[in-house]
Every structure is written in C-alpha cells, then in structure tokens.
C-alpha cells in the first residue's frame, strides 16, 4: 500500500479484477471497437433494452453548424417504464427494487419489490390519466426523496408524459418559472419534506408558485407528514385518495426512441436556466450501460447513490440506470449529518450496501467530523466507491480511500453533466488504476478532445491542458433545449465548431489520463450544485437598493466553491450588516437556499472595460486572494477601482 500511495496510483486488487465486468484488456479492445465502428458497437449495446419495434438505424448525428441534429435508434419504439419494471417481473418480481431509508433512523425503512413497484406505478399512471395528462404532456415533480418520486417519474414514462423534476430546495419563484417554462399540466408534490430533522413546506411552496398562474394547474399531493396544509379546492388531489379509485393495470404507451423522456432545468452562463431535453431510447441504453459498468454492478448487489432525484444524478443513477438493470437501488430521504455524522455509514451497514456513490462536498463535510463516525460502522459490504459533481481534492479522495474504503475499494471519480445523460469519463473499477482527483479515461464511444481555448486548435499528445470538447455523439447526449433549439446550438456548438463544448477545462497528463480542472464559463459549482453567476446577479439587482452586482466563485473548504458577490448600492443607500442579511435572504427567496451568498462585498465601483463590460477575471482573482496574477488592467475605464476592491476585500476566515 505504501508503494501505491507514493506513486499516487491505486490499482484494484487481483480478486476484484477477476470478477469485474471490464478489465484493462477488455477496456482497450472494447474502447477501440466503440470508436472504430460506433454503429456496430451501439447496435449491440442497444439490445440492453427491450424494444417493442426493434431499431434498424443506429445513429444519425450531426454537430455541423446550422444543422445540429442528434438521433439514436430513431426508428425503434419502446417504453422506458416497461424496461425498468415489467420486463423484470418474471425473473425478479419478489426482489427488492427500491430500499427506502427515511430521514429519521427511528422510522421504518421500506423494501419495495419489483411487483409492488409495478402496481404503484400503474396506479399513479392511471391517476395521471384521470387528471387529464396524456402522451407528450408535461408533469412537474417537486418531491421529497420518497418512493412516490420514483413512481411519478416512471408513471410519466409509462403514459408517455414528459417529467420535469424541480429540486425540493428550490424556492416558489424558481418552481413557478419551471412550471410555466414547460407549460406543465400537473404538479406532483408532498405536504412536507422532512430533511435533517426539519420539514420544508412543499405544498405551501407550490401554492405560492402557482399564485399568478392563469391556467388551472392541477396538483397531486402525497401525504408524507400529515401536517396541516392549505388546500386549493377543485384542483388539488390527495394521491392516496385517487389511488384507491383506480386499477393498477395501465398498459405502457409505445414511444419512439427519440420521444422526450424528461426535461431538466440546469444553470448556464446566462441568467435563464435551460430546459435540457433527454430522449427515451438512447438515454436509457446509456444510463443502464454506464450504471452496470462504471459501478461494476452485479446481480444481487445493493447499490446506493446519495443524490437527490432533483439532479441528473438522481435521474440516471437512482432511478433509470439501476432499475433498467433490475438492480436494488437505495433511496435516502435524509442528509449525511443527521442525527449525526455517522448516518451514511449506518445506512451502508444496515442495508449491506455494495456500491456507494456520493459527492465530494459530503465527503469534505464528513471528513471534518473525524473518522470515529466511520469506524464505528461495519462497512465490509462495500465493493466500489464513487464520486460525482465536482472535482475532488486529493485530501478528500485519500480520506475516502483510506477511512471509508480501507484502502481496498476502487474509487470511480465520474465526470459528466446534466447534458450528457450519463458518465463520459471515469475510471472503470476493474480496468484502471486510479489517481486521486483524475477522471482518467473516456467511457466507451466517447471521444474527448482538448482544445487551445482561444484558437480552438486541437492539442495533440499528452501533457496538454485546455478546454474539453467531445468530437462525436453518444446515445445519452441531450437532444435540444426545450423549445429553443437555437440556444442549444449557441451554447454547446458555436464556440468550437464541429464539437460539443462541455464548458469544462481539462488536462491530459503524461500518461494520457484526464483531469477535469473546473468550469471555464460563468458557472460555479457550490456543493456539487451548478449555479450560473448570472442567476445570482439577476436576483441581487432585482432588489430595490441594488444598482449593480457581479458574482464569482472562490475556494471554499466544504462547498468546493463559495458565492462571492460584489454589490454596488443605489445612490443614497448605506451599506450595513442588516442590508447584507436582507440581500442574502432575498436571494434565498428568489432562487433557493443553495444560492445563498457566502460573502457580500460593497463595491462603490466595478472594474469595467471602456465598453462597459465587467472584467470578471479580475473580480475572480480578488475573491481568490490572488492579486499577483491580476493581469493587464490597463484596458479598464477606471483602474483605481481595483485597488479599492482589494483594500475592502472580505475577510474569509
Ligand atoms: C453530474 C453532474 C456538471 C458539472 C461539470 C463539471 C462538474 C461533475 C465532476 C465534475 C470534476 C467530476 N463535475 N462531475 N468536475 N470531476 N467527477 O454533476 O451534472 O449538475 O450538470 O454538473 O459539474 O464542471 O461540467 P451537473
């Protein structure tokens, strides 16, 4: 072990490799096949799902300017819910599909079999139909982490409705914008969402979000706590009451491979979140395949992804990927530190979890609490550990490896995005020795290229750093931005023509392994949550006392990046601590607690070019406490503002 640590390279044990789906040898040959003849490769792997009408065409994808068109398996038909449930009934009807672990360890966990899942999803699908939802209609899901959230997703898939999940931590305003954005017919929610011993009033948030809605948006409410809520007569319905009235029999709708399965809003570099649209066929093939191979999932394993279904990770790796594979997937309602910092590890012990997948921010928070919380639990069932969401610092990686994995479990650091549907780069646990913080190698069929940021020239060879693009399509790729295909092209295909631009920076090291260096656009990553700085800026300037605002990220011990705001007040307004708090609360209310500013610096002036553009590069450097590297400031309209900002920089300690 000391040897490995010194070299910074961690191979899997011979025992692990012997039983792994993919080894170093098979990776090399499969990867070569996947890029040499992608049609043949994906024609084979397309069989991972059951088709109603088998596809004859595999891929039809163009990244050409003016003609961004991505299709996979385009003449095939299928039903995603039938693939995640019905096809398993014969062989594993009595197997647990979902283990549900509630917020409080005092409350009973649930084990839902594939047969029970089939029944619940069938009922929910019939309730949706009864409420007027049909093929192609949109349903917004605003739910705690309870099994009904998964039922709702699968019920949509069963009848061909398109779901759009809004994270339960988002504010009523953010929810309202998303309900409107996709013209949803129905919102499904719960009365309250217990989390970390506190409860969010989800139904009240829905009421507030729909206050100015002119259409009658119906709302189906799951009773989670039974506490009092305000009811909108005629448009609100209790799930348990409606479920009692319908049959569980709901034949799955035949869907085209390219029919949208879901929309998921995500932040970009502009103020407006984008509705990322995913397909039915290609998405499911890719989610299922990556789930099995990246985590080396074997039949009978218990798999746990700690994400929320409100994020893409919850879509692909709690629900669709695992269930398509007939896996047992664990859904956790709570947080890592409630009732104490042992909670994750207790759940691993209790349910004998084999694959555990979480975010670096959670690991950093737990690392700070000390290893006793881990060591008091029996973690011998663990086989593979995963991380996702942001770059993992070597310290957290080493802690994960040593304290949680006892130096014996491969760690898969999976790099991917809402837009990619599934993992694009990750070590495979039986194939690649890992390096702390490296995403290592492309998944099958993925062709990464590193470009020189300004010229767009392809950087060949090893030991290079630049922006990360992907040169050809893969089945899980997003297909468009909801009702804005132009924005799809502009965001992802216009900076570097002919490539999908990820927005991330990347280094290919001397061994040809990939390291993600973080976003190169105005997107920051706060506790693994993507946040467009422009969104926080528009929230701030919406406040009556704010004239102008600029927001950047800065290094934060636990969150990875914190939110640093430079705020210029309206003439005559005085800065004060009370106003700081007011602005913080205002942003929370506009977007949600995850967007809460960490630091607010009063800025009488912002560094701007003569054409009036804010020079964020400089603001980023000041926030990072890195004045040596400010670069050329001579093009500023008024260079003295920089000095003033440095003098008044917020003390971060
Ligand atoms: C799945 C997910 C995507 C952005 C992505 C990148 C960052 C995700 C990462 C990672 C380094 C990893 N990111 N995984 N950076 N290493 N293993 O997180 O999707 O919420 O859309 O965020 O997150 O910057 O571009 P999403």
- The protein residue whose alpha carbon is closest to atom 6 in ligand 1 is 390
Residue to mutate, 291, 389, 435, ligand 1, most ligand atoms under 8 Å from C-beta: 389
* E strand map for 191-242: 193-195, 198-200, 218-222, 236-238
- Centre of ligand 1 to C-alpha 366, Å, is 20
Residue 273 Cβ contacting ligand 1 at under 6 Å: no
Number of domains the chain is built from: 1
What gap in Å lies between CA 631 and CA 638, rounded to an integer?
15
- Centre of ligand 1 to C-alpha 530, Å, is 8
Work out whether the CA dihedral 632, 637, 641, 645 comes out positive or negative: negative
**Does the pLDDT value for residue 20 go beyond 90?**
yes
Residue 390 Cβ contacting ligand 1 at under 6 Å: yes
CA angle 181, 198, 241 (to 5 degrees): 65
- Centre of ligand 1 to C-alpha 638, Å, is 37
- Centre of ligand 1 to C-alpha 265, Å, is 15
pLDDT value of position 651: 65
Within-domain flag for 324 = no
**Does the pLDDT value for residue 10 go beyond 60?**
yes
**Annotated binding site, which residues?**
195-198, 313, 389-391, 413-418, 504, 519, 527, 530, 541, 543, 546, 588
pLDDT value of position 5: 43
**Does the pLDDT value for residue 125 go beyond 70?**
yes
What gap in Å lies between CA 500 and CA 480, rounded to an integer?
12
Atom of ligand 1 nearest to the CA of 413: 17
- Centre of ligand 1 to C-alpha 425, Å, is 11
pLDDT value of position 610: 78
Distances (CA, A) of 463 to 190, 451, 513, 546: 51, 13, 9, 46
User: Which segment of 3-17, 80-94, 205-219, 560-574 scores lowest on mean pLDDT?
Assistant: 3-17
Atom of ligand 1 nearest to the CA of 502: 25
Residue 516 Cβ contacting ligand 1 at under 6 Å: yes
**Residue 355 in contact with residue 306, Cβ under 8 Å?**
no
Predicted-complex ipTM score = 1.00
The tokens for 362 are 């959670």
- The protein residue whose alpha carbon is closest to atom 17 in ligand 1 is 415
Report the percent of the chain where pLDDT is more than 90: 89
What gap in Å lies between CA 103 and CA 125, rounded to an integer?
27
- The protein residue whose alpha carbon is closest to atom 22 in ligand 1 is 417
Name the residue with higher pLDDT: 257 or 627.
257
58-78 pLDDT per residue, tens: 999 999 999 999 999 999 999
What gap in Å lies between CA 124 and CA 129, rounded to an integer?
9
- Centre of ligand 1 to C-alpha 518, Å, is 8
**Does the pLDDT value for residue 211 go beyond 60?**
yes
pLDDT value of position 7: 61
Name the residue with higher pLDDT: 250 or 641.
250
Q: What are phi and psi of 143, to 5 degrees?
A: -135, 155
Residue to mutate, 516, 519, 529, 531, ligand 1, most ligand atoms under 8 Å from C-beta: 516
The tokens for 130 are 């009864």
Residue 525 Cβ contacting ligand 1 at under 6 Å: yes
Name beta bridge partners: 458: 451
Within-domain flag for 89 = no
**Residue 158 in contact with residue 190, Cβ under 8 Å?**
no
Within-domain flag for 577 = yes
Within-domain flag for 26 = no
**Residue 423 in contact with residue 448, Cβ under 8 Å?**
no
Residue 313 Cβ contacting ligand 1 at under 6 Å: yes
Atom of ligand 1 nearest to the CA of 313: 1
The tokens for 85 are 């449930």
Within-domain flag for 475 = no
- Centre of ligand 1 to C-alpha 416, Å, is 5
277-309 pLDDT per residue, tens: 999 999 999 999 999 999 999 999 999 999 999
Instruction: Give the CATH number of the domain where residue 568 resides.
Output: 3.30.300.30
How many other β-carbons are positioned within 10 Å of the β-carbon of residue 156?
Answer: 29
Burial (0-12, 13-18, 19+ Cβ within 10 Å), 270: middle
pLDDT value of position 653: 45
Predicted confidence band at 6 (pLDDT cuts at 50, 70, 90)? very low
- Centre of ligand 1 to C-alpha 592, Å, is 20
Within-domain flag for 614 = yes
Secondary element (H or E) of residue 469: strand 464-470
Predicted model pTM: 0.94
- Centre of ligand 1 to C-alpha 436, Å, is 16
**Does the pLDDT value for residue 650 go beyond 90?**
no
Number of H helices, E strands in the chain: 23, 30
pLDDT value of position 248: 98
Residue 413 Cβ contacting ligand 1 at under 6 Å: yes
**Annotated binding site for Mg(2+), which residues?**
541, 543, 546
Within-domain flag for 447 = no
What gap in Å lies between CA 446 and CA 457, rounded to an integer?
19
**Residue 566 in contact with residue 619, Cβ under 8 Å?**
yes
Work out whether the CA dihedral 144, 148, 150, 154 comes out positive or negative: negative
**Does the pLDDT value for residue 468 go beyond 70?**
yes
Within-domain flag for 581 = yes
Predicted confidence band at 634 (pLDDT cuts at 50, 70, 90)? confident
pLDDT value of position 616: 86
CA angle 225, 229, 235 (to 5 degrees): 115
Report the percent of the chain where pLDDT is more than 70: 98
Q: Can you give the residue range of the structural domain that contains 644?
A: 527-648
- The protein residue whose alpha carbon is closest to atom 11 in ligand 1 is 391
Residue to mutate, 415, 467, 470, 532, ligand 1, most ligand atoms under 8 Å from C-beta: 415
Atom of ligand 1 nearest to the CA of 392: 16
Candidates 63, 64, 43; CA nearest to 473 is 63
């Amino acid at each position: 072990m000391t040897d490995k640590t010194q070299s910074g390279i961690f191979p899997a044990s011979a025992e692990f490799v012997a039983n792994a789906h993919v080894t170093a040898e098979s990776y090399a040959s499969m990867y070569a096949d996947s890029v040499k003849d992608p049609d043949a490769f994906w024609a084979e792997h397309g069989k991972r799902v059951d088709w109603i009408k088998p596809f004859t065409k595999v891929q039809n994808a163009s990244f050409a300017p003016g003609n961004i068109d991505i299709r996979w398996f385009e003449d095939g038909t299928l039903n995603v819910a039938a693939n995640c449930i019905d096809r398993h009934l014969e062989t594993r009807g009595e197997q647990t599909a979902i283990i549900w672990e509630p917020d409080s360890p005092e409350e009973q966990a649930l084990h839902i079999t594939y047969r029970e899942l089939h029944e619940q999803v069938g009922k929910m699908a019939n309730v949706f139909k009864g409420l007027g939802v049909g093929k192609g209609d949109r349903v917004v899901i605003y739910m705690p982490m309870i099994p009904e959230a998964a039922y709702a997703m699968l019920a949509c898939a069963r009848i061909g409705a398109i779901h759009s999940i809004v994270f339960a931590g988002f504010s009523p305003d953010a929810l309202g914008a998303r309900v409107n954005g996709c013209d949803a017919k129905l919102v499904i929610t719960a009365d309250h969402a217990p989390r970390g011993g506190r409860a969010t009033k989800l139904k009240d948030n829905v009421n507030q979000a729909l206050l100015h809605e002119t259409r009658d948006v119906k709302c189906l409410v799951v009773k989670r706590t039974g506490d009092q809520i305000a009811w909108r007569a005629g448009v609100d319905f209790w799930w348990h009451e409606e479920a009692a009235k319908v049959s569980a029999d709901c034949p799955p709708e035949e869907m085209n491979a390219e029919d949208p399965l879901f929309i998921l809003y995500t932040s970009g570099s502009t103020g407006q979140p984008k509705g990322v649209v995913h397909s039915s066929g290609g998405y499911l093939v890719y989610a299922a395949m990556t789930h099995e191979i990246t985590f080396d999932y074997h039949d009978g394993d218990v798999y746990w992804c700690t994400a929320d279904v409100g994020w893409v990770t919850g879509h692909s790796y709690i629900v669709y990927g695992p269930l398509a594979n007939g896996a047992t997937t664990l859904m956790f309602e709570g947080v890592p530190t409630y009732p104490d910092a042992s909670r994750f590890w207790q759940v691993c012990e209790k349910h004998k979890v084999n694959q555990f997948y979480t975010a670096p921010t959670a690991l950093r928070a737990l690392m700070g609490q000390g290893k006793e919380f881990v060591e008091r639990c029996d973690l011998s069932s663990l086989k593979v550990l995963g991380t996702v969401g942001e770059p993992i610092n070597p310290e957290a990686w080493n802690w994960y490896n040593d304290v949680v994995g006892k130096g014996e479990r491969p760690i898969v650091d999976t790099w991917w995005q809402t837009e990619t549907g599934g993992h694009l780069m990750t070590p495979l646990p039986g194939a690649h020795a890992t390096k702390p913080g490296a995403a290592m190698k492309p998944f099958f069929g993925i062709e990464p290229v590193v470009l020189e940021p300004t010229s767009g020239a392809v950087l060949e060879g090893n030991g290079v750093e630049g922006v990360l693009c992907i040169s050809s399509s893969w089945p899980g790729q997003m297909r468009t931005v909801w009702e804005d295909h132009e924005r799809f092209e502009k965001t992802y295909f216009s900076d570097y023509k002919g490539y999908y631009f990820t927005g991330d920076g990347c280094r290919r090291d001397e061994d040809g392994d990939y390291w993600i260096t973080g976003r190169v656009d105005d997107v920051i990553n706060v506790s693994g949550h993507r946040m467009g700085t422009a969104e926080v800026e528009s929230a701030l300037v919406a406040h009556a006392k704010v004239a102008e605002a600029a927001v950047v990220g800065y290094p934060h011990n636990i969150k990875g990046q914190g939110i640093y705001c430079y705020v210029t007040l309206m003439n005559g307004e005085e800065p004060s601590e009370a106003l700081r708090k007011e602005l913080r609360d205002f942003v929370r209310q506009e977007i949600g607690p995850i967007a809460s500013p960490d630091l607010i610096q009063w800025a009488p002036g912002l560094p701007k070019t003569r054409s009036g553009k804010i020079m964020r590069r400089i603001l980023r450097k000041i926030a990072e406490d890195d004045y040596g590297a400010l670069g050329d400031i001579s093009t500023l309209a008024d260079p003295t503002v920089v000095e003033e900002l440095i003098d008044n920089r917020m003390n971060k300690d």
